[in-house]
Amino acid sequence: MKKVKLGIIGCGIAARELHLPALRKLQDKFEITMLCNHTEQKARDLSEQLGRVPYVLDYRELLESSEVEAVDIALPIHLNFKVAKDSLLKGKHVFVEKPVTANLREARKILSQSEASDLVMLVAENFRYRKVYLRAKELMKKGKIGKPYAAMWDLFNQVTLNSKYAKTKWRQHPKYPGAFVSDGGVHNVAALRMLFGEFTSVKAFTKSINPKIGSPDTMSLQFRSQSGVDGVFNIFYSVDGYWENRLLIFGSRGSIIIQENKLMLKNNSEDDYIEEVEDDNGYIAEFTDFYNGIRKKKKVLSTPHEGLKDLEVIIAALKSAESNRSVSLTH
Ligand code: NAP
């Protein structure tokens, strides 16, 4: 099957450090035919790294090229909508980084536009493809912990201005709601929705501990889900002195504990089951899904609809924090 001719728009951290390693492993599926970055140095550097792939400074020029049939959009979040919209209009398949857009109005518009086209659009929410969460889902489906009833996810971290992510100006002064808690938290929401189905209501508080990295940087979210799993998700990006990333899932006959790529299954009648799940955080799987969507006409897992649903939860949580009330989600 023919390789997909891919144009990369945005030659920053995600494109260079997350997408490129996956694309290098998928050279039988993708050929990078053009690059775009509005400032030349980054475009030139990546071009050199890739053996002088042509580059442009204006993405509209890339969209005119017949050498590009699909785009990989890795831009500041507030640009996702416009660039995805223009790409679809120019007949390009779209792989766009998460969150799908900066707000719900844009997310609904891009969903309609992509559904009205015969092009593939994939929201690059890599947590939907991470093997450790897919494995937890499989174990729950097999009944290994009985009926799941609660979940707790603690993500405690310290992001300072030394972090490469916090150094990006668009994160320090976000043109989208929720700053780091939406940029990062949308990943966890995607995984929680995949594991437990749609959220029916949320109650949250947010804080800004270190406004220099963008505000807010701290959120505690309580949720109820359609499947009957209730939970708490704490995402704290300015924790000094302690680090944690642990998801606990409680069921009527056991518990699952996930720490990074390590999964543990515990109950009182059997020995603990521990598995280290090999994973590249889902980047290869999401590009493979994109390729199969284009070449094999398979429905992709991470659709704009899923991206919209993830964003709805984040926006509802921010609304709850602002109003100090719980917010219902309708489906
Ligand atoms: P970044 O390093 O700032 O990369 C964005 C790039 O876009 C920069 O090189 C920037 O150039 C360029 N750019 C800005 N405006 C442009 C325009 N109008 N036309 C062309 N290029 C333009 O940010 P990032 O960390 O890579 O994040 C990019 C996206 O990836 C975001 O959606 C983020 O949420 C996502 N992301 C996902 C993950 C994941 O695990 N899935 C991880 C990190 C990021 P300048 O820097 O020169 O302005």
Cα–Cα distance, 254 to 294 (Å, whole number) = 41
Model pLDDT, residue 34? 98
Can the peptide bond before residue 99 be classed as cis, meaning omega within 30 degrees of 0?
yes
Whether ligand 1 lies within 6 angstroms of the CB of 129 is answered as: no
Question: Do 237 and 187 form a contact (C-beta atoms < 8 A)?
Answer: no
Cα–Cα distance, 90 to 92 (Å, whole number) = 6
Protein residue with its CA nearest to atom 36 in ligand 1: 14
What does the domain layout of the chain look like in residue ranges?
4-127+283-288, 129-282+312-328
Question: Do 261 and 277 form a contact (C-beta atoms < 8 A)?
Answer: yes
Model pLDDT, residue 67? 98
Averaged confidence pLDDT in the chain: 97
Model pLDDT, residue 330? 86
Model pLDDT, residue 331? 79
Q: How far is the CA of 12 from the centre of ligand 1 (A)?
A: 5
Q: What are phi and psi of 256, to 5 degrees?
A: -115, 135
Whether ligand 1 lies within 6 angstroms of the CB of 312 is answered as: no
Q: Tell which atom from ligand 1 comes closest to the C-alpha of 126.
A: 41
Specify the CATH number for 4-127+283-288; select among 3.40.50.12280, 3.40.50.720, 1.10.10.200, 3.40.50.1360.
3.40.50.720
The HSE-up count of residue 118 (CA atoms within 13 Å, CB side) is 2
Whether ligand 1 lies within 6 angstroms of the CB of 75 is answered as: yes
Q: What is the pTM of this model?
A: 0.97
Whether ligand 1 lies within 6 angstroms of the CB of 58 is answered as: no
> How far is C-alpha 207 from the chain's CA centre?
22
Q: How far is the CA of 94 from the centre of ligand 1 (A)?
A: 16
Low-confidence ranges of the chain (pLDDT < 50): none
Question: Do 38 and 57 form a contact (C-beta atoms < 8 A)?
Answer: yes
Q: Tell which atom from ligand 1 comes closest to the C-alpha of 183.
A: 34
Contacts of 237 (CB under 8 A, 6+ apart): 157, 158, 159, 180, 181, 184, 209, 210, 213, 217, 218
Protein residue with its CA nearest to atom 16 in ligand 1: 38
Model pLDDT, residue 182? 97
Q: How far is the CA of 37 from the centre of ligand 1 (A)?
A: 9
Whether ligand 1 lies within 6 angstroms of the CB of 183 is answered as: yes
Q: How far is the CA of 57 from the centre of ligand 1 (A)?
A: 14
Specify the CATH number for 129-282+312-328; select among 3.10.310.10, 3.30.360.10, 1.10.3720.10, 3.40.50.2300.
3.30.360.10
